[in-house]
Amino acid sequence: MLIRLPSLSEPRWHPDDGLFTVVAWATSKGIPLYAGIFDNSPPGIYWLYRLLLLLGADRYHVVVQLAATLAVAAAALLTFEITRQVAQPWPAVLAGALTGFALSVPTLDGDLLNVELAALPLFLAALRLAFTGRLPGAFLAGALLGLTVATRPSFAFDGLALLVPLSLDRRLAAAAAGGLTALVAVLGMLWMEGSLAAFVQLVLPAERAYLLWANGGSLAPVLARLGTFAVVAGLGLGAARTPAGRLLAIWLPASLAGASLAPRELTHYAHEAIPALAFGLALLAARFRWRWAVIPAAAASLLLAAQLTVVLPAWQTAGRSAWAPNFSYAQAPAFYGNWFAYMTGGKSWQSYSEWFPGVAGRRPLEAELLRSQLQTDGSRLLILGDQPWLYLDTGLLPATPYPSTNSAFWRSRGAAGETRQALRKGCAQLVVYSDGPGDWLPDLEAGGYQPVEGAPWATFQAKERGPAC
């Protein structure tokens, strides 16, 4: 909690939680998910952010940060509980503490509520319930695993760890029934929202295209990794002599496989593997005589292992590494120093918030200018780039189903063409051309957009809203 304390004061700055919030905000206003507003993540994360909006996340970013803190606390406690089923209390305490520590470090995106962190408590609760030995517990474990996959599909690999406590008996069938029930319920909710067809026709192809793109245009690298992890798991199972050894043999390679499916060196991808890594390091530390002396080494080893989980798959895919976290380890003292100065009155809110990427004075000024340019109610905004928080800052809904031209946008078939048509028809009263690939200037000119002077980013205003929009 002490490590995470500065995150509770953070401004809203990261585009990922901005995009989740914008999508949830738009769906709360009746715009159908995927069909009316698009992102390529499964529905679980957007439903979670819909709940956070009900709690005031659109006005108070601390709601999102508190949710992230609760998710980390739950992950730490559940890792402790899982380890306690197969090991002594000391390694169980260490495994839980290491999990909470690594999931809180800002260098590993511990200050953000992303899909991996949202899915972790669901998966870990499923794994813990699998140890109950009862059919209802197995059914609930399967149902929670289904909800986990509906939030982050890569956790389907982690789900193989449930085979250790469930064994090949009626409990496994009950877990399968629970998982199927949960997934049918998710699909039913998508159907009731009018989003199921778009999920099948748009999101699933976009996810496949994203997986191919992240692996250099071929599935060969990911298949090679999966094969390697399968061999490691088989060798580990053959050598395991205890329940803890059997659990580690499956859980660790399965979590690493899930975390490395799309090797883009995004630090939050490592979150998926952190509890399994902490579990393994805690079991190893318990073998040493001077247990308390190895805790710092275990913590440092966990950070290194988490970083390698992000870096090595990218190196295997492209032969190079370009790991670039939002905050480096060298910046960690400045991260905490910035917060301490703000809390003790040494910095104003503006000075404190400008330290974070994407906030530094430009977004508030841009939002104020956009609001001053509004001419009619119901105006729409279009961001060409990755600044989704501007929609919340201005209160303007996206003019197209694509609130961000990020990497997921470019993997979606027809997204670029649909955006160009919207620009040529003048569908957005205001357009912010902030960053990202693509030359949109010819489309802006064709739509009759005029530059707005004095804007922090290149900003354009339509003469009039197109009649076909």
Alpha-carbon Rg for the chain in angstroms: 23
The per-residue pLDDT for range 95-130, each reduced to its tens digit, is 999 999 999 999 999 999 999 999 999 999 999 999
Rounded Cα distance, 331 and 109, in Å? 13
The per-residue pLDDT for range 156-166, each reduced to its tens digit, is 999 999 999 99
The pTM of the full predicted model, rounded to 2 decimals, is: 0.94
Q: How far apart are the first and last CA of the chain?
A: 49
Question: What is the pLDDT at residue 278?
Answer: 98
Question: What is the pLDDT at residue 362?
Answer: 84
Residue ranges per structural domain of the chain? 5-318, 362-461
Tell me which residues of the chain have a pLDDT lower than 50. Answer: none
Question: What is the pLDDT at residue 359?
Answer: 73
Question: What is the pLDDT at residue 378?
Answer: 77
Architecture of domain 362-461: 3-Layer(aba) Sandwich (3.40)
Question: What is the pLDDT at residue 168?
Answer: 81
Per-residue b/e over 391-413, b at no fewer than 16 CB within 10 Å? Answer: bbbbebbbbbbbbbbbbbbbbbe
Pair of tokens at residue 141: 């474990």
